């Protein structure tokens, strides 16, 4: 049986080889692996085979092995995966322990909904504040997060080493605010502004989120299934 130290060495080597070459499809699946493995840990499970993980996630065992082999494989022949080790390594890949700081720009309904969740903290991201132009909100706290005036955003980001800006603003404002964030040294934007936002620089990473796209995908699947089903008698 391979030791954890040997697995770690394989992971480190493979990770450096894989940087910049891993497909976006594999990267998008990593958070799902992280979520399922976290649930298994909370249930007290110590190891799992690719076949067992396949049944849980409804992804083929072959796909799981291919994905994890991008970073060294993690598994041991005849043993499967050490769940805690695999969870820890995927956490590292996803930057959970990097200590990223975030701000939410826009304290409307969506901004408030994001502030109400524990999503950030569970993924190692600290919410430092929210920003808005509404004088009735500035100076207050929303679910424990202080709200500041948007005019103070650049100075706040520079002073507090903000890494991520979460945009929940009207799409007309999104590009200008993104430019402001970039000038303030923020290198990541999580965009909910209902538009395809382009980064002002290759140095800044923009992740565009379209909630409506997910809804339309669901509608498509429902429509496709209804066409395949036989009429009920």
Evaluate if residue 82 carries a pLDDT over 80.
yes
pLDDT band for 77, please (50, 70, 90 cuts): low
Residues of the chain with CATH 1.10.10.10: 4-92
pLDDT number for residue 9: 47
CATH homologous superfamily for the domain 100-213: NAD(P)-binding Rossmann-like Domain (3.40.50.720)
- Residue 8's pLDDT is 47
Contacts of 93 (CB under 8 A, 6+ apart): 15, 30, 71
Segments of the chain assigned to CATH 3.40.50.720: 100-213
Report field, pTM of the whole predicted structure over 0.75: yes
What's the mean pLDDT in 164-172?
96
Average pLDDT over the chain reads: 88
pLDDT at 18 over 70: no
- Structure confidence at residue 202 (pLDDT): 94
pLDDT above 90: percentage of residues in the chain: 76
Taking residues 157-185, report their average pLDDT.
97
What is the pLDDT confidence band of residue 225, given thresholds at 50, 70 and 90? Answer: confident
Q: What percent of the chain has pLDDT over 70?
A: 87
The CATH number of 4-92 is which of 1.10.10.10, 3.40.50.1000, 3.90.850.10, 1.10.3720.10? 1.10.10.10
Query: Is 147's pLDDT higher than 90?
Result: yes
Predicted confidence at residue 78, as pLDDT, reads 63
């Amino acid at each position: 049986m391979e030791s954890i130290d040997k697995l770690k060495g394989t992971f480190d080597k493979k990770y450096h080889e894989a940087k910049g070459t891993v497909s976006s499809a594999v990267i998008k699946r990593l958070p799902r692996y992280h979520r399922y493995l976290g649930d298994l840990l909370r249930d007290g499970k110590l190891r799992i085979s690719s076949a067992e993980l396949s049944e849980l996630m409804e992804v083929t065992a072959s796909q799981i092995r291919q994905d994890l082999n991008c970073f060294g494989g993690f598994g041991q022949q005849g043993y499967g995966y050490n769940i805690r080790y695999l969870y820890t390594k995927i956490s590292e890949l996803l930057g959970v322990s990097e200590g990223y700081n975030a701000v939410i720009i826009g304290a409307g309904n969506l901004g408030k909904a994001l502030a109400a969740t524990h999503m950030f903290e569970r993924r190692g991201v600290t919410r430092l504040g929210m920003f808005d132009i509404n004088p009735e909100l500035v100076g207050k706290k929303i679910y424990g997060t202080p709200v500041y005036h948007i005019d103070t955003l650049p100075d706040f980001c520079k002073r507090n080493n903000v890494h991520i800006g979460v945009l929940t603003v009207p799409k007309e404002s999104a590009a200008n605010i993104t430019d402001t964030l970039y000038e303030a040294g923020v290198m990541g934007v999580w965009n909910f502004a209902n538009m395809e936002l382009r980064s002002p620089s290759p140095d800044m990473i923009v992740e565009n989120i379209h909630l409506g796209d997910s809804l339309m995908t669901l509608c498509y699947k429902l429509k496709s299934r209804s066409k395949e089903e036989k009429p009920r008698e």
